[in-house]
A and B are shown apart, each in its own frame.
Chain A
Amino acid sequence: MTNLKKTGLVFDIQSFSVHDGPGIRTLIFLKGCPLRCLWCANPEGQKLFPEVRYHVMKCVGCLACAEVCPHGAITLFSEACREGKKQPKICIDREKCAKCLGLECVAACPNGALQLTGKLMTVEEVVKAVKRDLPFYRGKGGVTLSGGDPVYQPKFAIELLQACKEEYVNTAIESAMFAKREKIEKFLPVTDLFLTDIKHMNSKKHKELTGVPNELILKNIALTARYKPVLVRVPIIPGSNDDDKNMAATAAFCLEYGITRINILPYHKLGVSKYEQLGMEYLQEEIETPDDDKMEHIKEIMEDMGVTCIIN
């Protein structure tokens, strides 16, 4: 029996997605991820605790937030910039916030300038949202757990997937697969489709780009592919992983484990404003989005080796 009271940290539920899996889907974003990809478009998914997003444009510098903050984390940024619209008006000491449980500032702000990212939800609450979408799945669609990385909150994620299975909902997870084998094994029976990335075939390079080596990831992909459909996605990051050699190696790896479909995704500079709101730094250096010719070229390399390659 599923434990419906189990809680997890969810930062978004998107109904009606037409990406991220077949059919019309509900996306559930879980907080927390062991990787730190330089180009991460969902930085709010990285940390495994709730965070406050600060919207400069809405802030009027009234300091109502500072008044209620029990940790003295908020100070006036500077008197001089009070008038400017784009200048931050307050300074948030993120280290103090990391230990904050009350998050009193969010409710205190009358202008909606402080918003909470990450909310504790029970499996039951999430399933309720899923059920609302149920009539729209029609065989093909379903639920996709994303993040962050759902494998980073394994107990909650598995309970949730289990609960979905009890409603006969098709399930998918989007995971980096950086976890112990035993954890991944637990996902196998409750997950119908695994969406995962191969960011680089060279472990050292992989570590430079994401902060972790790739051996465990590749092993898990190989394991999963024996039992469940796996869709491999390769983000194409110009200058980092888009060389022909790496592309060919990626295709070869997939073929070896019977994965015949690879999705290549051109790099886009996304989510930059979220970095600012979270007080984080965007580390990916300035690069261009790869053009269509480049993408076609990679597709050709992969297809020559016998995989089906889709650009999207």
Chain B
Amino acid sequence: MATQLIDFEKGKTVKWPPTLEESAKEGYIPREVVKEPSTERGRRIKQRLLSARCMLDPEFTMLYTEEWKKAEGEPLLIRRARAYKYAIENITPVIHPDELIAMQKSRYIRGAVVYAQYSQRYYPGMISKAEHADDEVYDVGMGGGRTHKETKGMIQMGIFGMKEEEAEPLIETCNYWDGKCIEDEAEKFLRESMPEFDDLENAFKTVLYPPSVVAIMEGRWIPAYDMVVNQGLEAIIADCKEKIKNTIPTTREVAEKVIFWRATILVCEGVINWAGNYAKKAREMAAAEKDGKRKAELIKIAENLEWVPAKPARTFYEGLQAAWAAHTAVSLDGPIPGLSPGRWGQLLYPLFTKDIEEGRLTKEQALELMELLRVKFSSEEYVSSRSWESLASGNLFQHMIVGGVDKNGRCSDNQLEEIILEAGIRMQTIQPTLGVEVNTKTSDRLLMKAAECTKTGAGYPAWYNNNMSIEHCLQNHMEEGVTLEDARDIAMGGCVEIQMQGTCHGICHPAFFNEVKCFEIVLNDGVDPRTGLRVFEPLGEFKTFDDLWQAWCKVESKFMKVYMRYWNYVLAVHREINPLVIGSVLVKDCVAKGKPLDSNGARYNKTVTLLNSGMVNVANSMAALKRLVFEEKKYTLEEIKEGMSANFGFERADKVGNFSMLEQKRIDRKYENLHKDLMEAPKFGNDDDYVDQIFVDLWHQYNDTCFSETTYLGYPWVPAALSISAHGPFGRVCGATPDGRVAGVSLTDGILSATPGTDVNGPIALMKSGTKLDPTKMRSVQLNMKMHPNAVKGVEGSRKLVDLVKLISSKAGIMYSLILWILIC
């Protein structure tokens, strides 16, 4: 016995748990995290933002339309450029008190710009407060303290206020676009040319697809901010002039290049003049300003804008202003939810270090600027139909990224990125949302800062698996000859979609495919139970599980294809009447190639994606049927369907007034045992191969269907897996399902998330289930994890959180993105 006791670990002191001092010695500073903006100014501006009313601003679209009419007869790109230039040069410059970074899309503290040229349909309706037929299904995300009292001279439109005097001219503008806007034009095109037009209509009616997103259709991308910050717009103009001089328009293709360069010159001039208007405004305000300090600030703003974005930025402050001007200029071009700044910490780091070294800037000043910048991002709202707003929770998804690697694959995180995170901690605004690219090389220092940020409960940063994202880009853009350097320069376009910076066409999509609705139609022999519409020919009896599977494949692929084709028609119209100009200029290599984004001008064009929602419900439903009907034969399919149509004896969710499964009430006991058996069937998220394999097969089927179709740019579609908040409204229109979910209850959110309450083996089993799906071919795969604050308390807790994230990225290697929510209890 005695010899057995000798152990090499004998005498070794375990330092667990470590004390705060020990943690500090290792370089981690403990703080449990509630912080304020670092300056009085920041606190004031934040307060102002929080109490500001959301306003609708039609100024841009009205000016745009005015010039668009005048430019009739010009080549399309020139007409677009002229309208943009005129509008941006004439919108009212507004500089709010205390601001250090100027320029904005709307005239308001919180404002949304109207784009009647995309969709004119719902503004007149909003003005007359007409109810929309879909309101019942899509009113999530409304209310919640977002309404304001009537004010004089102001009208209320949904969650927005608008100046009463602008209602009339806005309706006029809309009338002009009636029949001409992208949505109307696309509908004509579809009705006349799409063979599956009836299927399309049925799919919209049954909510296999949510209502049209044309009003906010532009994709998500990261502009090439370096072109503005490091080169300046004058350099682009000079480049185009040079190109025009050296190009003889021979074929149509060459002539079109010249037209694009001419358009480029116009929009760049427009942006420079717009900055000039702001500079003038700042000078005027400075002249009238009594406070000496503020006067100097205003003069500084003017000096900045007299230099950038025309010329290359010389200081960090100018660089930030230039990047912000570029961001705003691009986002004015159209409704672009998800236009993302990307890695500004990388972009601006050289200017930052130079200023610090030369004593022009302190870190505190940089922090204040980054905090104020957050408010600028948060001031921009977007307006869309109520339905989309509920699908996306009204979030603009401007995503800023820290971490990752440089073009040579070396760890690139820097002090400025820590400041960006600190600003996120101190100035908690919803935009820009933050993300951290976790590479095996990323420093613990940055990750600990990010953990601190997560622990504020702000809901950011999201954590991304950098190594896998690079792999995805290499794989996805292989046929376009992607370089390793470009693949390493990634950030997020929009919420969780991987995108290379400044070189890609926007990730645009028709919206979400409702997988659960599709499954209901399959089980119901091709008829939608809610509307009674027959949308597919009778499918016949399912004698085996394979019969069911085959039917599923038929229906799903048909409606996915219809959806993708539909979007091609819409984008074709977009290309013919509304190609992006300034948006194109700031994506490489549009100017070099002389082509806008819509004509494959970007370096990488394989970006159009399809999204879906509810796959976990379908997988669990199939597993339940496979086991209980086809294997154990405990029930017939008819018996289960009977239970489903009786809602398993539960009260309807809308009567209960709650759409979470955990809150549902049983009123009839008849189906108790059936429901129990369904609930006890294998569920995704428990590392159970029985159901996980079905889950994987479903995704492969989905992916293959995506790859089988071609986008308007001539590349295969890319499958993406993210559902934002589509699961709520989609669930409302779906009846009870064989996974035990009752009618109306939200679908399972996220992509690798389990249905609440059904993952009983803990997070690792959940991840194991997720690992079975190889996501390399998919644009985004997201896992939401919730943690109790106690689990990550203190420095030790932060370290565990960091370990966890690193392990998930390196070992489990599944999803690209991990969103950790720290529950505040």
* Chain A positions near chain B (C-beta within 8 angstroms): 13-16, 18-19, 21-24, 60, 62, 110-112, 129, 132-133, 135-136, 138, 140, 185, 188-189, 192-193, 227-229, 231, 260-261, 263, 308, 310, 312
B14/A229 in contact, CB under 8 A = yes
Does B673 sit at the interface, judged by CB under 8 A? yes
A133/B16 in contact, CB under 8 A = no
Given contacts A62-B669, A192-B9, A229-B12, are A18 and B800 in contact (CB under 8 A)?
Answer: yes
Does B4 sit at the interface, judged by CB under 8 A? yes
Residues on the B chain within 8 Å of A193, using CB:
14, 16
Interface stretch of the complex, out of B439-447, B473-481, B639-647, B803-811: B803-811
The CB with the most chain A CB atoms within 10 A, among B5, B12, B687, is that of B5
B763/A135 in contact, CB under 8 A = no
Q: 5 A–B contact pairs at CB < 8 A?
A: A62-B669, A112-B679, A132-B765, A231-B14, A261-B16
Residues on the A chain within 8 Å of B797, using CB:
18
Residues on the A chain within 8 Å of B793, using CB:
312
Does B241 sit at the interface, judged by CB under 8 A? no
Q: A188 → chain B, closest Cβ, in Å?
A: 5
Interface hits, B485-503 → A, CB 8 Å:
none
Q: Residues 549-570 of chain B: 1 if any A CB is under 8 Å from the residue's CB, otherwise 0? A: 0000000000000000000000
Give A24 to B805 CA distance when docked, in angstroms.
Answer: 12
Closest to A309 in B: B19
Residues on the A chain within 8 Å of B19, using CB:
308, 310
Give A228 to B6 CA distance when docked, in angstroms.
Answer: 10
Q: Residues 50-93 of chain B: 1 if any A CB is under 8 Å from the residue's CB, otherwise 0? A: 00000000000000000000000000000000000000000000
Residues on the B chain within 8 Å of A133, using CB:
764
Give A111 to B676 CA distance when docked, in angstroms.
Answer: 7
B5/A24 in contact, CB under 8 A = no
Given contacts A18-B800, A136-B764, A231-B14, are A188 and B807 in contact (CB under 8 A)?
Answer: no
Partner of B791, one of A18, A21, A138: A18
Other than the known A62-B672, A110-B669, A111-B672, what 12 A-B pairs have Cβ atoms closer than 8 Å? Answer: A16-B804, A18-B800, A22-B16, A60-B669, A110-B675, A132-B765, A133-B764, A135-B811, A136-B807, A227-B10, A310-B17, A312-B793
Residues on the B chain within 8 Å of A260, using CB:
13
Give A263 to B811 CA distance when docked, in angstroms.
Answer: 32
B13/A231 in contact, CB under 8 A = no
Q: A13 → chain B, closest Cβ, in Å?
A: 8
Does B47 sit at the interface, judged by CB under 8 A? no
Give A228 to B4 CA distance when docked, in angstroms.
Answer: 13
- The binding surface of chain B is classed by DSSP as helix
Given contacts A60-B669, A185-B1, A189-B4, are A24 and B761 in contact (CB under 8 A)?
Answer: no
A138/B764 in contact, CB under 8 A = no
B764/A132 in contact, CB under 8 A = yes
B7/A189 in contact, CB under 8 A = yes
The CB with the most chain B CB atoms within 10 A, among A112, A229, A260, is that of A229
Q: B195 → chain A, closest Cβ, in Å?
A: 50
B791/A15 in contact, CB under 8 A = no
A21/B768 in contact, CB under 8 A = no
Closest to A195 in B: B16
Given contacts A15-B762, A193-B16, are A135 and B807 in contact (CB under 8 A)?
Answer: yes
The CB with the most chain A CB atoms within 10 A, among B17, B675, B794, is that of B17
Given contacts A228-B10, A231-B14, A312-B17, are A132 and B687 in contact (CB under 8 A)?
Answer: yes
Q: Residues 1-42 of chain B: 1 if any A CB is under 8 Å from the residue's CB, otherwise 0? A: 100110101101111110100000000000000000000000
B7/A231 in contact, CB under 8 A = no
Q: A286 → chain B, closest Cβ, in Å?
A: 23
Given contacts A60-B669, A138-B807, are A110 and B764 in contact (CB under 8 A)?
Answer: no
Closest to B22 in A: A308
Give A13 to B5 CA distance when docked, in angstroms.
Answer: 29
B807/A227 in contact, CB under 8 A = no
Residues on the B chain within 8 Å of A21, using CB:
16
Q: A131 → chain B, closest Cβ, in Å?
A: 10
Residues on the B chain within 8 Å of A112, using CB:
676, 679
Residues on the A chain within 8 Å of B15, using CB:
261
A188/B5 in contact, CB under 8 A = yes
Q: B351 → chain A, closest Cβ, in Å?
A: 39
Given contacts A15-B762, A132-B765, A135-B811, are A22 and B14 in contact (CB under 8 A)?
Answer: yes
Does B792 sit at the interface, judged by CB under 8 A? yes
B5/A185 in contact, CB under 8 A = yes
B761/A15 in contact, CB under 8 A = yes
Give A189 to B7 CA distance when docked, in angstroms.
Answer: 7
Give A185 to B5 CA distance when docked, in angstroms.
Answer: 8
The 10 closest A-B pairs by CB, nearest first: A15-B762, A229-B14, A110-B672, A135-B811, A22-B16, A18-B800, A15-B764, A110-B676, A16-B763, A189-B4
Given contacts A18-B792, A23-B803, A24-B804, are A231 and B16 in contact (CB under 8 A)?
Answer: yes
Give A132 to B764 CA distance when docked, in angstroms.
Answer: 7
Residues on the A chain within 8 Å of B804, using CB:
16, 24, 136
Closest to B792 in A: A18
A14/B762 in contact, CB under 8 A = yes
Does B812 sit at the interface, judged by CB under 8 A? yes
Interface hits, B764-802 → A, CB 8 Å:
764-765, 768, 791-794, 797, 800
Q: A49 → chain B, closest Cβ, in Å?
A: 23
Interface hits, B573-588 → A, CB 8 Å:
none
Residues on the A chain within 8 Å of B672, using CB:
62, 110-111
Given contacts A110-B676, A193-B14, A229-B12, are A23 and B761 in contact (CB under 8 A)?
Answer: no
Give A21 to B800 CA distance when docked, in angstroms.
Answer: 12
Partner of A227, one of B5, B676, B687, B762: B5
B764/A16 in contact, CB under 8 A = yes
B7/A228 in contact, CB under 8 A = yes
Q: B23 → chain A, closest Cβ, in Å?
A: 11
Give A192 to B7 CA distance when docked, in angstroms.
Answer: 10
Give A261 to B18 CA distance when docked, in angstroms.
Answer: 9
The CB with the most chain A CB atoms within 10 A, among B5, B12, B14, B807, is that of B14
Partner of B807, one of A24, A60, A111, A261: A24
B7/A227 in contact, CB under 8 A = yes
Q: A36 → chain B, closest Cβ, in Å?
A: 26
B807/A15 in contact, CB under 8 A = no
The CB with the most chain A CB atoms within 10 A, among B666, B672, B797, is that of B672
Residues on the B chain within 8 Å of A111, using CB:
672, 676
Given contacts A135-B812, A231-B16, are A19 and B791 in contact (CB under 8 A)?
Answer: yes
Give A229 to B14 CA distance when docked, in angstroms.
Answer: 6
Closest to A229 in B: B14
Residues on the B chain within 8 Å of A229, using CB:
9, 12-14
Q: A176 → chain B, closest Cβ, in Å?
A: 20
Q: A93 → chain B, closest Cβ, in Å?
A: 25
Give A14 to B762 CA distance when docked, in angstroms.
Answer: 7
Residues on the B chain within 8 Å of A261, using CB:
13-16
Q: B16 → chain A, closest Cβ, in Å?
A: 4
Q: B697 → chain A, closest Cβ, in Å?
A: 22
Give A111 to B650 CA distance when docked, in angstroms.
Answer: 13
Interface hits, B118-167 → A, CB 8 Å:
none
Q: A68 → chain B, closest Cβ, in Å?
A: 13
Q: Residues 639-682 of chain B: 1 if any A CB is under 8 Å from the residue's CB, otherwise 0? A: 00000000000000000000000000010010011011001000
Closest to B18 in A: A310
Residues on the B chain within 8 Å of A129, using CB:
761
B807/A23 in contact, CB under 8 A = no
Residues on the A chain within 8 Å of B768, using CB:
132
Closest to A260 in B: B13
Give A133 to B762 CA distance when docked, in angstroms.
Answer: 10
Given contacts A110-B676, A132-B687, A136-B764, are A23 and B5 in contact (CB under 8 A)?
Answer: no
Residues on the B chain within 8 Å of A60, using CB:
666, 669
Give A135 to B765 CA distance when docked, in angstroms.
Answer: 12
Q: A17 → chain B, closest Cβ, in Å?
A: 8
B669/A263 in contact, CB under 8 A = no
Q: A152 → chain B, closest Cβ, in Å?
A: 22
Q: A184 → chain B, closest Cβ, in Å?
A: 11
Residues on the A chain within 8 Å of B12, using CB:
229
